[in-house]
Amino acid sequence: MMHSSYRPKRRYGIFRTPRFLKRFRRNTQASSFSGNNVELYRNGGDFFPAMLREFSRATRHICVEFYIIRNDLTGALFAEALIAAAKRGVAVFLVYDYLGSIETPSAYFRQLEEAGVSCLPFNRPSFKKGLSWFDRRNHRKFAVIDGTCAFLGGINIGNEYAGFGESVIRWRDVGIRLQGPAVGELQRLFITLWKSETGTAPQKIAPPQLPIAQDGTAEVMVVSGGPHHNASFIRSAFRMAIAGASKNVRIITPYFVPGPRIVRSLLRAAKRDVRIQLLLPSVSDVPLVKIASRAYLSPLLKAGIEIYERQGTILHAKILLIDSCWATVGSANFDLRSFHRNYEVNVVIDSPEFGRQLDDMFSEDLKRSRRLTLLEHEKRPWFEKLLERLCDPIRRFL
């Protein structure tokens, strides 16, 4: 008699079936590319030196988008690298979110402009549109160098992102280096955004010289989202990936306000005996979001989903790993703001080798985490439950 848990179609790679890939691309508007190399940086302390080193090697152009750019030591090194490239004759373009970087003095960006870096503040205040401009954010975080390699993840430009994640002033974050045909799609997204904000395309950006990585083995899809889309492609990508899981789902996210659809997707996967592990921060840089997230945890805990809180630091990484081979890395959180209100970009990486690296990283983080139990969660103080209810009307805006 066949065991009830045996599911041959799922057990051997639903993600690689033409039917699944066709549905995924249709529902997420994803662009798909073969022959990529992906390198994981488990900490910002590894990510920044690698990215700045590539800036120093650039010969044609650098396109950079970051939500937050701080005027601190890390920000100074970042500016220094861009200025040095511009002085070599490299065309350098920088997009930063006006509200995300509002604490950074205008003199910081003025020195870049004076050195030849083209700077674009995304969504500068315009009261002609009422207050709607206030809720429009560019949360994307990536850099493209010469159209041949890219860096992306959850990392912003600031000291807290540039360390090794074992204190509340050195956050836990993750980034990747991508080389291959998928880089061209990131460059296209940058050009499209620049043109939509300024009315003209950035000059002196040559098309990518592809193929780049002859020995690349990773299949990569690029999923972008924004308030200009009628449906949330970011959320659809998360939901479809979870629906395709046959063995395990591992999630790292700093902000967990997923809404009912993601919760239903997780519960359905748990009902199929998929092991689900959710890693959240023990201390959040946005305490209100942590309060709001608590309202979603009870049904997950009751379904046997494992929820952990990373200790000793502020967790800011954003990872989804399915069956140790299908990974999503990028700027989007598991929250309603990322799904509906922000400009975001994620890459979906189909690579067993890369998946094993993320598995090892996740397991190491679990050693520094504490598991949350249903009993503990249900015994939380009454005033915490009251605050959760009060957060309900504003969850979409957190």
Between these two residues, 269 and 18, which has the higher pLDDT value? 269
Confidence (pLDDT) at 386: 65
pLDDT band at 297 (very low <50, low <70, confident <90, very high): very high
250: left (phi over 0), alpha (psi -120 to 50) or beta: beta
Mean pLDDT value across residues 79-92: 98
- Of 59-73, 119-133, 191-205, the range with the highest mean pLDDT is 59-73
pLDDT band at 11 (very low <50, low <70, confident <90, very high): very low
Residues contacting residue 278 through CB under 8 Å, at least 6 positions apart: 251, 253, 256, 300, 305, 306, 307, 308
Give yes or no: 139 in active site: yes
Out of 139, 173, 335, 365, the active site residue is 139
Out of 61, 290, 318, 340, the active site residue is 318
Going from N- to C-terminal start, the domains of the chain cover 11-397
**CA neighbor of 329 nearest in space, from 124, 128, 121, 186:** 186
**CA neighbor of 71 nearest in space, from 135, 156, 171, 154:** 156
Give yes or no: 323 in active site: yes
Cβ-contact 115, 84 below 8 angstroms: no
Confidence (pLDDT) at 7: 41
Confidence (pLDDT) at 130: 61
One-letter amino acid at 297 equals L
The class of domain 11-397 in CATH terms is alpha beta
Mean pLDDT value across residues 315-336: 96
Mean pLDDT value across residues 37-55: 97
pLDDT band at 398 (very low <50, low <70, confident <90, very high): low
Confidence (pLDDT) at 200: 93
Give yes or no: 316 in active site: yes
pLDDT band at 208 (very low <50, low <70, confident <90, very high): low
Cβ-contact 398, 335 below 8 angstroms: yes
Out of 316, 335, 350, 365, the active site residue is 316
**CA neighbor of 183 nearest in space, from 205, 215, 151:** 151
Asked whether the whole model's pTM tops 0.85, one would answer yes
Confidence (pLDDT) at 97: 97
Out of 61, 97, 146, 340, the active site residue is 146
Confidence (pLDDT) at 64: 98
Mean pLDDT value across residues 6-11: 40
User: In this predicted structure, which of 72-81, 153-162, 169-178, 382-391 has the lowest mean pLDDT?
Assistant: 382-391
Confidence (pLDDT) at 397: 60
Between these two residues, 384 and 211, which has the higher pLDDT value? 384
Mean pLDDT value across residues 245-274: 96
Structure tokens at 70: 């701080």
Mean pLDDT value across residues 220-245: 92
Out of 141, 290, 335, 350, the active site residue is 141
Judged against a pLDDT cut of 80, whether residue 35 lies above it is answered with: yes
Judged against a pLDDT cut of 90, whether residue 176 lies above it is answered with: yes
User: In this predicted structure, which of 11-20, 135-144, 145-154 has the lowest mean pLDDT?
Assistant: 11-20
Out of 97, 173, 323, 365, the active site residue is 323
Give yes or no: 61 in active site: no
Judged against a pLDDT cut of 70, whether residue 131 lies above it is answered with: no
Confidence (pLDDT) at 10: 42
Confidence (pLDDT) at 123: 87
